[in-house]
């Protein structure tokens, strides 16, 4: 089985929280949620029960009556026709968005305590209004994404010790030897083409056949289009499909910004807003909003009328371009004309690692490809796919604004690691190590009240 970082999250949940919380895995279709849970159950539980509310609509009848745990578990065991052992059973509610009452029932099932529960869901944001009552306080959420570059490397035989060595170079900002750097760049180019959809990655690992990879990617794109037709309202279907199909061409535009007028000259942002949110909630598109200034908190400076829209998987983007771009990428031709693909893979990596992506574009300063926030620190990031990675007028402009207090910037490029004042040049593959500052697991704080008791 392909290694997924989400596996570590499942282990943590089972060790610390399974008795008091269900785990909800969300994310786009075809990213490996169900496969991961099945394998986890095989290794860590004696009994496993799975209900898929999408492929087996009748399973929803289990929740038609009272939602107390006794009734539901009686219905569940009768429906499955197999015993479930208390204390050593994992129950998977797959595609739970198809049965909103099951989501409500989680509270009572967790309180009952006999079994552990994992829910998986796609398109959850599209159907949230149908849930009668959310299991607040009884459910942890974890969002999954397509495989990131580190997971891709491990799937293709890169040893964990090599990843650790690369991370040490990233941390200390020391250049990597040329042969390792060239090999990693070739792997990164391969990742751009294959992407991170697990079935696609596995097919490449098994066959090394890019033609088979491309066919699988086209099948997934077709599935996403069917989802749009099935799940979206009739009023929004045409708009959502038009936006989804336009992502590759809009990214290929020089400024990458999504322009509604290219879809329809009479299109207005307020009429299309729900359609963009639908794609984001479904996990198939990654919005990146412009900010009025690169200052914390970035969310407070978002300009929702100006944004880029990236594909959730770079391999799907390459397939959607339909221009035989895969061959050029595999030959290392990640040049200016393919800059949109380089930006997409960086957006995909940053999002998977926990960043909320933004960009900055102002006439006075120019455009910076990405602006991210780590703790209270703002980090501008330029993505350079060609050979001119030392040219970045906008980056210098914003670093010169003292009131913004930006202390460092990253340039992701084809070159090796190099430090130049506040700017760090990093190979594109080093994006796998860019992660936001995390809150500590514990933050004890006590106010000394002795002065009030004198």
CA distances from 225 to 123, 199, 219 (A): 13, 18, 10
Query: What residue ranges do the domains of the chain occupy?
Result: 6-143, 149-433
Task: With cut-offs at 50, 70 and 90, classify the pLDDT of residue 305.
Answer: confident
Structure tokens at 77: 């065991």
The token duo for 333 is: 């031709």
Other beta carbons within 10 angstroms of residue 134's beta carbon come to 14
Whether cis (ω within 30° of 0) applies to the bond prior to 240 is: no
Burial class (CB in 10 A: 0-12, 13-18, 19+), 162: middle
pLDDT at 333: 64
374 exposure class (CB count in 10 Å sphere: 0-12, 13-18, 19+) = middle
CA–CA gap between residue 88 and residue 231 (Å, rounded)? 36
CA distances from 384 to 1, 121, 391, 410 (A): 34, 36, 9, 11
Q: What is the pLDDT of residues 409-444, one digit of tens each?
A: 999 999 999 999 999 999 999 999 999 988 776 778
Q: What is the pLDDT of residues 199-236, one digit of tens each?
A: 999 999 999 999 999 999 999 999 999 988 887 777 78
Kindly state the tokens that stand for 237. Answer: 């279907």
Specify the higher pLDDT residue, 265 or 116.
116
Cβ 248 vs Cβ 318: under 8 Å: no
Q: What's the pLDDT band for 252 if we cut at 50, 70, 90?
A: confident
Contact 89, 47 (CB under 8 A): yes
Q: Express as a percent the part of the chain with pLDDT over 90.
A: 70
DSSP letter at 141 equals: E
Neighbours of 212 (CB within 10 A): 14
Q: Which residue has the tokens 């020089």?
A: 254
Q: What is the pLDDT of residues 345-394, one digit of tens each?
A: 999 999 999 999 999 999 999 999 999 999 999 999 999 988 888 888 89
- Of residues 271 and 100, more confidence is placed in 100
Strand duo 22-26 + 116-121: pairing: parallel
Closest by Cα among 54, 89, 58 to 73: 89
Alpha-carbon distance of 194 to 146, in angstroms, equals 11
For range 323-341, the mean pLDDT: 69
| pLDDT at residue 1 in the model | 86
Mean pLDDT of 247-261: 71
- pLDDT tens across 308-331, in order? 999 999 999 999 986 667 777 777
Q: What's the DSSP call for residue 132? A: S
Q: What value does the mean pLDDT of the chain take?
A: 90
Say if residue 266's pLDDT is above 60: no
Matching residue, tokens 């809009």: 250
Give me the mean pLDDT over the 332-348 stretch. 78
Would you state the pLDDT for residue 440?
72
Q: Is the pLDDT of residue 281 over 70?
A: yes
Residue 451 reports pLDDT greater than 50:
yes
Give the separation between CA 243 and CA 311, rounded to whole angstroms.
11
Structure-token pair, residue 188: 């990164």
Distance CA 303, CA 199 (A): 36
Total-model pTM: 0.91
pLDDT, mean of residues 254-268: 58
pLDDT at 349: 98
d(CA 371, CA 382): 9
Average pLDDT of the residues in 89-117 = 94
DSSP 8-state assignment for residue 65: S
pLDDT tens for 118-166 read 999 886 555 555 666 777 789 999 999 999 999 999 999 999 999 999 9
Q: How far apart are CA 56 and CA 48, in angstroms?
A: 17
Q: Which two tokens stand for residue 95?
A: 């595609």
117 CB-side CA count, 13 A: 29
Alpha carbons 251 and 259: distance in angstroms, whole number: 10
Q: Give me the pLDDT at residue 272, please.
A: 59
Q: Which residue has the tokens 């990031």?
A: 381
In whole angstroms, how far apart are CA 438 and each of 144, 370, 376, 384, 442? 18, 20, 11, 28, 11
Radius of gyration, alpha carbons of the chain: 24
Q: Quick one: average pLDDT of 23-43? A: 96
Residue 158 corresponds to which tokens in the numbers above?
């890169």
Tokens of 35: 């496969």
Write down the residue that tokens 């750097």 correspond to: 181
- β strands within 53-159, DSSP E: 89-94, 116-121, 139-143
Q: What is the CATH number of domain 6-143?
A: 3.40.50.300
What average pLDDT does this structure show over 244-264?
71
- The more confident residue out of 252 and 388 is 388
pLDDT for 163-188, tens place per residue?
Answer: 999 999 999 999 999 999 999 999 99
Q: Is residue 336 scored above 50 in pLDDT?
A: no
Task: Report yes or no: 151 and 5 within 8 Å, Cβ to Cβ.
Answer: yes
Q: In what order do the strands lie in the sheet with 116-121?
A: 47-52, 89-94, 116-121, 22-26, 139-143
Q: What is the DSSP letter of 53?
A: T
Cβ 240 vs Cβ 278: under 8 Å: yes
Cis peptide before 297 (omega within 30 of 0): yes
Residue 301's contacts (CB-CB under 8 Å, 6 or more residues apart) are 291, 292, 293, 294, 295, 358
Q: Taking residues 251-264, what's their average pLDDT?
A: 63
Q: Which residues are CB-neighbours of 203 under 8 A, at least 6 positions away?
A: 209, 212, 213, 216
């Amino acid at each position: 089985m392909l290694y997924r970082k989400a596996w570590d999250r499942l282990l943590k949940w089972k060790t610390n929280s399974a008795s008091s919380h269900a785990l909800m895995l969300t994310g786009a279709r075809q990213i490996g949620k169900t496969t991961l849970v099945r394998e986890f159950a095989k290794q860590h539980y004696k009994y496993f029960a799975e209900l898929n509310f999408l492929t087996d609509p009748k399973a929803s009848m289990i929740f038609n009556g009272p939602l107390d745990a006794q009734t539901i578990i009686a219905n569940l065991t009768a429906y499955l026709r197999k015993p479930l052992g208390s204390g050593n059973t994992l129950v998977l509610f797959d595609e739970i968005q198809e049965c909103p009452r099951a989501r409500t029932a989680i509270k009572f099932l967790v309180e009952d305590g006999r079994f552990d529960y994992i829910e998986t869901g796609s398109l959850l944001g599209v159907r949230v209004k149908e849930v009668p009552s959310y299991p607040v306080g009884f459910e942890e959420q974890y969002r999954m994404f397509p495989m990131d570059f580190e997971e891709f490397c491990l799937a293709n035989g890169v040893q964990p010790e090599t990843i650790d060595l690369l991370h040490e170079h990233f941390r200390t900002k020391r250049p990597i030897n040329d042969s390792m750097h060239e090999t990693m760049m070739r792997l990164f180019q391969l990742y751009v083409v294959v992407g991170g959809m697990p079935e696609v990655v596995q097919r490449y690992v098994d066959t090394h056949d890019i033609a088979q990879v491309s066919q699988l990617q086209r099948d997934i794109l077709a599935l996403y289009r069917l989802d749009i037709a099935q799940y979206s309202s009739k009023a929004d279907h045409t708009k959502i499909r038009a936006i989804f199909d336009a992502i590759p061409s809009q990214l290929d535009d020089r400024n990458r910004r999504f322009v509604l007028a290219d879809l329809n000259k009479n299109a207005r942002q307020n009429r299309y807003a729900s359609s963009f949110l639908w794609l984001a909630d479904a996990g198939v598109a990654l919005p990146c909003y412009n900010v009025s200034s690169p200052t914390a908190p970035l969310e407070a400076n978002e300009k929702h009328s100006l944004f880029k829209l990236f594909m959730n998987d770079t391999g799907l983007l390459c397939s959607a371009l339909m221009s035989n771009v895969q061959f050029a990428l595999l030959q290392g031709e990640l040049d200016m004309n393919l800059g949109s693909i380089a930006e997409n893979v960086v957006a995909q990596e940053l999002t998977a690692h926990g960043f909320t992506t933004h960009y900055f574009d102002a006439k006075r300063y120019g455009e910076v490809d990405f602006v991210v926030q780590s703790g209270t620190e703002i980090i501008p990031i330029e993505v350079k796919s060609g050979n001119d990675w030392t040219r970045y007028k906008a980056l210098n402009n914003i670093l010169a604004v003292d009131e913004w207090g930006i202390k460092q910037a990253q340039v992701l490029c084809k070159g090796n690691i190099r430090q130049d004042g506040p700017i760090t040049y990093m190979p594109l593959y080093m994006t796998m190590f860019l992660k936001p500052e995390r809150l500590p697991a514990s933050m004890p704080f006590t106010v000394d009240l002795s002065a009030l008791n004198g």
